[in-house]
């Protein structure tokens, strides 16, 4: 199946739309579902999807940022081709190799409602745990996501220090991210903090941040 050009995701939740509806998958996930043919030594058991066409954010390190000149198919050096949503859901229906489904989100108007709708569609065809990674939203959306079937929410804090955060994530707010983590913990009972190694932090600062969020009860996922 040929890759589709990405289009704005809100088409997914408008039932009256008849045009092909794209959903982005990591290349490995597309191979696992049989939507792309390629050799793979070890098949992932987590299905990685991406929600959104282009991010409104301007994170200096991200290929999906609104002003990035990088290949728009990329995120974290991984290719994310787009496929018709119905094709993805039909392959997900009863897929025994998938043990978890992770939805990576971009920042754009209408995201929270689109995310709830996508989770509901996925949950209707596959019972495996669903994780989402997202920027801060109002707490009521967390309640709706949990009701839709989300098990865990991760947050891309990305930076070990507030100084670096302000330099590489303009338009976002350090304190709001930490408040959002507390809101997630209150609603879900668990939360994940995503940190990127190599944004200019010292080893000491990185270790300090990892220990800090661990002491607060959050799990940590490291990226580089």
For residue range 157-197, list pLDDT tens digits in order: 999 999 999 999 999 999 999 999 999 999 999 999 999 99
The H or E element spanning position 23 is strand 22-25
Contacts of 34 (CB under 8 A, 6+ apart): 91
Domain identity same for 43 and 9: yes
Whether residues 36 and 88 fall in one domain: yes
- Determine the 3-state secondary structure of 214 from DSSP: helix
| Domain total of the chain | 2
The answer to whether residues 43 and 107 belong to one domain is yes
**Are residues 193 and 105 part of one domain?**
no
Mean pLDDT of 50-56: 90
Query: What's the pLDDT at 53?
Result: 85
pLDDT of 212 over the 80 cut: yes
* Predicted confidence (pLDDT) at residue 211 exceeds the cutoff of 60: yes
pLDDT at 18: 35
**Predicted local confidence at residue 16, as pLDDT:** 35
Q: Is residue 95 part of a domain?
A: yes
> pTM of this prediction?
0.87
pLDDT band at 72 (very low <50, low <70, confident <90, very high): confident
**What pLDDT sits at residue 73?**
81
Q: Does residue 214 register a pLDDT over 60?
A: yes
Q: How far apart are CA 115 and CA 65, in angstroms?
A: 19
**Taking residues 195-224, what's their average pLDDT?**
97
Residues 9 and 117 both lie in one domain: yes
Within this chain, do residues 8 and 77 fall inside the same structural domain, yes or no? yes
Query: Given pLDDT bands bounded at 50, 70 and 90, which one contains residue 71?
Result: confident
> Is 145 among the domain residues?
no
- Report d(CA 220, CA 138) in Å as an integer: 22
H or E element, residue 223: strand 219-223
Mean pLDDT along residues 11-29? 59
The per-residue pLDDT for 22 is 64
Beta bridge mates, 215: none
Mean pLDDT of 14-34: 71
Domain end residue (candidates: 99, 133, 167): 133
Tokens for 149, please give them: 């079937």
Domain holding 17, by residue range, is: 1-133
- 19 pLDDT band (50/70/90 cuts)? very low
Same domain for 108 and 29, yes or no, is yes
Same domain, 124 and 213: no
Give domain status of residue 104, yes or no: yes
Which residues fall within 8 angstroms of residue 212, CB to CB, at 6 or more apart? none
Residue 27 sits in the same domain as residue 124: yes
Same domain, yes or no, for 8 and 46? yes
Average pLDDT along the chain: 90
Listing DSSP states for 140-186 in one string gives HHHHHHHHHTEEEEEEEEE-SSHHHHHHHSTT--HHHHHHHHHHHHH
Is residue 147, in this structure, part of any structural domain at all? no
More confident residue, 17 or 218: 218
Nearest 5°: phi and psi at 162? Answer: -65, -35
Give the span between the Cα atoms of 206 and 36, in whole angstroms: 38
């Amino acid at each position: 199946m040929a890759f589709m050009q990405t289009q704005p995701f809100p088409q997914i939740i408008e039932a009256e739309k008849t045009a092909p509806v794209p959903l982005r998958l990591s290349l490995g996930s597309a191979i696992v579902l049989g939507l792309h043919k390629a050799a793979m030594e070890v098949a992932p058991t987590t299905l990685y999807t991406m929600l959104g066409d282009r991010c409104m954010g301007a994170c200096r390190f991200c290929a999906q940022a609104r002003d990035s000149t990088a290949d728009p198919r990329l995120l974290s050096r991984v290719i994310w081709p787009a496929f018709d949503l119905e094709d993805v859901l039909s392959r997900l229906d009863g897929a025994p190799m998938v043990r978890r489904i992770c939805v990576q989100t971009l920042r754009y108007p209408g995201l929270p409602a689109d995310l709830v709708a996508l989770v509901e569609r996925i949950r209707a065809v596959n019972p495996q745990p669903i994780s989402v990674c997202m920027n801060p939203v109002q707490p009521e959306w967390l309640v709706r996501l949990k009701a839709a079937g989300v098990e865990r929410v991760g947050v891309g804090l990305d930076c070990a220090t507030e100084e670096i955060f302000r330099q590489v994530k303009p338009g976002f707010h350090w304190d709001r991210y930490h408040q959002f983590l507390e809101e997630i913990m209150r609603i879900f009972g668990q939360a994940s903090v995503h940190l990127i190694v190599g944004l200019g932090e010292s080893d000491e600062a990185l270790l300090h941040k990892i220990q800090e969020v661990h002491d607060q009860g959050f799990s940590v996922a490291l990226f580089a």
